């Protein structure tokens, strides 16, 4: 048996949606993209959505739209996909890393306060692995210091924090629809906001900075970050399955946690007032991670490291960061890994995953 990290659920609904869109003759950004934006905005409880070519481009648009510029600082997590921080560098700003909370692997609101300077322009929390960050104190800090919060909800479509959907918690939020995300459009992303002015600016920037009223007039230096109607059609079909996907992911974790509960390690969970969508099944062990991972790989179960320790990546090494300043993130990165939590996992696959994990983790 082989269990890959991710397996997108693309069936007749998605195929038919793409074919019907292609038959219209309009395959670039158009009515389907608008329909997808409205669907996601309504689901997340926000007024405006801007569909983009990727989650990274959504972050770039969001940071640009709130005015992040050369020399500014953006406080964010050191443990994430590097795409979280790269848009900060695109703008010649500086990522300032605040360590994570061990309980949820999200940036620690208390540490954020200690990282504030006169140059701080924004806070960029990430809802790591589908568990929302503790947003209320983060928003309070931002409001007290007149700075913006850009919420990275790439892992967390459908998650809830104190009753509110991820994506509706910051001044701007960004989603990813890459092939392994909660829903997919193959490639794609989206920026969400309740601020009409920010939404208008992101739409302008998304299309080469071209005025909607005056063709080939470009008041701003923009980008080509549009989502095609073909990608949007896939997303519309996927949104109809989202709640079922979340239900299956939560069922998977409940089963796996029960099977592994007698082992000494940190398993996925959720804190009070949270609904976690469990993007993957992540584990933090005490020792000998490499041997456990090797056992799993040999058994046909794909694994991945616990994301990137971003300050350690080559493009970030010259910025003066010391990874010892982030002991919780460093420990999680060194001792953690993850396996699939696909909503398509069968009962047999779940049983095999649980038994193999138990053998791998108890032996090593």
CATH number, domain containing residue 273: 3.90.1150.10
Check residue 256 and give its pLDDT: 98
φ, ψ at 74 (rounded to 5°):
-125, 120
Q: Would the pTM of this model clear 0.75, i.e. be above it?
A: yes
Domain contains 2? no
- Number of domain units in the chain: 2
Domain contains 32? yes
> Cα separations (Å) of 300 from 289, 294, 354?
17, 10, 13
Domain contains 4? no
Check residue 288 and give its pLDDT: 86
* Same domain (yes/no): 133, 217: yes
Q: Look up the domain containing 17 and give its range.
A: 12-239
Check residue 335 and give its pLDDT: 96
Domain end: 239, 267, 295, which one? 239
Confidence at 11, pLDDT banded by 50, 70, 90: very high
CATH number for the domain that contains residue 204: 3.40.640.10
Check residue 245 and give its pLDDT: 98
Is 53 in contact with 249 (CB distance < 8 Å)?
Answer: no
Domain end: 190, 216, 239, which one? 239
* Same domain (yes/no): 170, 266: no
* Same domain (yes/no): 258, 229: no
Buried b (16+ CB within 10 A) or exposed e, 205-241: bbbeebeeeeeeeeeeebbebbbbbbbbbbbbbbbeb
Check residue 363 and give its pLDDT: 66
* Same domain (yes/no): 131, 271: no
* Same domain (yes/no): 337, 259: yes
Is 118 in contact with 91 (CB distance < 8 Å)?
Answer: no
* Same domain (yes/no): 270, 229: no
Output the CA angle 179-164-66, nearest 5 degrees: 70
Check residue 362 and give its pLDDT: 86
| In the predicted structure, residue 88 carries a pLDDT above the cut 60 | yes
Which residues have CB under 8 Å from 251's CB, separation 6+? Answer: none
Domain contains 92? yes
* Same domain (yes/no): 29, 156: yes
Q: Mean of the pLDDT values across residues 192-217?
A: 94
* Same domain (yes/no): 154, 290: no
* Same domain (yes/no): 32, 174: yes
Q: What is the mean pLDDT of the chain?
A: 96
| In the predicted structure, residue 260 carries a pLDDT above the cut 70 | yes
- What does DSSP assign to residue 324? G
φ, ψ at 207 (rounded to 5°):
-120, 60
* Same domain (yes/no): 122, 208: yes
Q: What's the rounded Cα separation, in Å, for the pair 203 and 349?
A: 43
Taking only the tens place, the pLDDT of each residue in 346-359 is 999 999 999 999 99
Domain contains 30? yes
Q: Which residue has the tokens 């469990």?
A: 278
* Same domain (yes/no): 42, 113: yes
* Same domain (yes/no): 177, 277: no
Q: Mean of the pLDDT values across residues 165-185?
A: 98
Confidence at 118, pLDDT banded by 50, 70, 90: very high
Domain end: 204, 239, 274, which one? 239
């Amino acid at each position: 048996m082989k269990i890959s990290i991710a397996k997108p659920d693309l069936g007749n609904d998605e195929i038919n949606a793409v074919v019907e869109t292609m038959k219209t003759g309009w395959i670039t950004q158009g009515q389907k993209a608008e329909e997808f934006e409205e669907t996601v905005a309504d689901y997340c409880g926000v007024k405006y959505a801007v569909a983009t070519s990727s989650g990274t481009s959504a972050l770039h648009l969001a940071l640009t739209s709130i005015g992040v510029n050369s020399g500014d600082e953006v406080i964010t997590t050191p443990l994430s996909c590097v795409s979280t921080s790269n848009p900060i560098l695109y703008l010649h700003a500086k990522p300032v890393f605040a360590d994570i909370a061990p309980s949820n692997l999200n940036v620690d609101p208390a540490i954020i306060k200690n990282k504030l300077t006169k140059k701080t322009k924004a806070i960029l929390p990430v809802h790591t692995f589908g568990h929302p960050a503790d947003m209320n104190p983060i928003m309070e800090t931002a409001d007290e210091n007149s700075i913006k919060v850009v919420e990275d909800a790439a892992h967390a479509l459908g998650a809830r924090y104190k009753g509110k959907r991820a994506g509706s918690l910051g001044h701007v939020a960004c989603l990813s629809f890459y092939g392994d995300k909660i829903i997919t459009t193959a490639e794609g992303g989206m920026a969400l906001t309740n601020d009409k002015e920010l939404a208008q600016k992101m739409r302008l920037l998304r299309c080469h900075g071209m005025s909607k009223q005056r063709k080939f007039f470009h008041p701003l230096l923009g980008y080509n970050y549009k989502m095609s109607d073909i990608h949007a059609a896939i997303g519309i079909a996927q949104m109809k399955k989202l709640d079922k996907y979340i239900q299956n992911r939560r069922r998977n974790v409940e089963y796996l946690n029960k099977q592994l509960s007698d082992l000494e390690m940190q398993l996925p969970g959720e804190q009070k007032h949270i609904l976690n969508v469990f993007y993957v099944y992540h584990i933090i062990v005490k020792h000998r991670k490499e041997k456990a991972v090797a056992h799993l790989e040999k058994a046909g179960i794909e694994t991945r490291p616990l994301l990137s320790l971003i300050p350690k990546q080559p493009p970030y090494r010259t910025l003066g960061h010391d990874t010892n300043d982030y002991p919780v993130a460093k420990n999680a990165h060194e001792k953690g890994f993850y396996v699939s939590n696909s909503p398509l996992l069968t009962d047999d696959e779940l049983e095999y995953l649980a038994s193999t994990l138990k053998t791998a983790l108890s032996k090593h």
